[in-house]
Amino acid sequence: MGKRALIFAFACDPEKGSEPGAGATLVRAAARVTGEVVVITRFENRWTPELLASSLGDNVTVHQITTLPTHFPTYARYLAWILGAAKLARRLRKEKSFDVFHHATYASDWFVNPFALMGKGRHETWVWGPAGGASYAPTAVSRAVMGSTTRVETARRVATGVVRTMVHALTRRKVDVALALNADSASSFLASGFKNVIVKTNAVIDYEGLPPRSPSDGPVIVFAGRGVRWKGLSLVIASIAFLPDTWRIVIAGPETDSDYYRGLASAFSDRVDFLGVLDRNDTLELFARATALALPSLHDSAPWAAAEASGIGIPVVCLDLGGVASMAGELAMPVSTENPRTLPKRYAAALIAAANVDLDPDRSHTEGALEACIARSYGESVA
């Protein structure tokens, strides 16, 4: 028969990417390895509970909660939803018993979650994750990567650290399995006293839908992501000074085609292309023609772009922080942050080395891998 699981998934939409897509993928995987799944998610005009459930699995029931309007900050909406989700879960548990409670999205290992607001039943298994966020760079490294003030990063460290300590104290004895998006988050969970920690990303990549690799005539480095400072675009631009004159940098993503970044690249304007926002297919085609993907993010927990690039066979040059290397697998080329002053030069050296990498695509982020992890976490047997 299998077990009955209740999954908290603030974001759950099989027709979207990022967190909503990851939530839907996880629910589908859970539905395939357990007997019954009840999902608590947020209300979306595009989905009725019945239609969303039918897209996730025959054994799935969906409950939707209305949260704050979209003009409120994301985490304010998330907190309001968590309060409602915990209340609904307590009510549902009075109507029927559940073997598993799983808090899935958002993938934050520091924010308040429903487990902090609930008492645990004697025979229940509680699973949290995949979650991340416990990656913190030293100030000198942040300055080298961001190319500007680090006040935002300092505020992030203080605020998330305080809340994480409180939430972990409230949940470490309740949670049976903590799924960590990367090694940094796994270390944080273990340091807080969680006993059973498994490193597993929330990614399932449609490898058959990726374009074949078709390298450009000359070396081309691609940066694809938001233009927020902690993504490391400033470092990528600074590294151009140490690359051969024949190398080009192609930059795509929201907020990247700005006066700030164009100013940083002004000395190399004939070697840098700003493409602005691209759709997913055009971004993947860009990856296929690249020599390497440059993604020196300070604290990305599990960027799917790294998994997609490595799935095509493109090396991913990153830092030894966060979850980029975990997502890129065998094609990750992490650069040490031990000496921040020489980081641009050493990052450029890694980009040059990437041109000589000849490895098969890394295709480890599969449905089967996620299903096996969930089955193990839930205590289900796998055929």
What pLDDT is stored for residue 19 in this prediction?
85
What pLDDT is stored for residue 345 in this prediction?
97
Check if the beta carbon of residue 132 is closer than 8 Å to that of residue 111.
Answer: no
Check if the beta carbon of residue 45 is closer than 8 Å to that of residue 70.
Answer: no
What pLDDT is stored for residue 154 in this prediction?
82
What pLDDT is stored for residue 143 in this prediction?
84
What pLDDT is stored for residue 304 in this prediction?
92
The stretches in the chain having pLDDT less than 70 are: 1, 45, 148-149, 381-383
Domain ranges of the chain: 4-204+366-378, 207-354
185's CB contacts (< 8 A; 6+ apart) are 109, 131, 132, 133, 134, 135, 301, 323
CATH code for residues 207-354: 3.40.50.2000
What pLDDT is stored for residue 152 in this prediction?
78
pLDDT, tens digit (0-9, with 9 covering 90-100), for 157-180: 888 889 999 999 999 999 999 999
Check if the beta carbon of residue 9 is closer than 8 Å to that of residue 355.
Answer: no
The answer to whether 4-204+366-378 and 207-354 have equal CATH topology is: yes
What pLDDT is stored for residue 105 in this prediction?
78
**Domain 4-204+366-378 classification at class level:** alpha beta
Long-range contacts of 80-86 (CB under 8 A, 24+ apart): 81/10, 81/42, 82/8, 82/10, 82/112, 82/113, 82/114, 82/117, 83/117, 85/8, 85/10, 85/40, 85/114, 86/114, 86/117, 86/118
Predicted TM-score of the model (pTM): 0.90
Q: Residue for token digits 């920690």?
A: 197
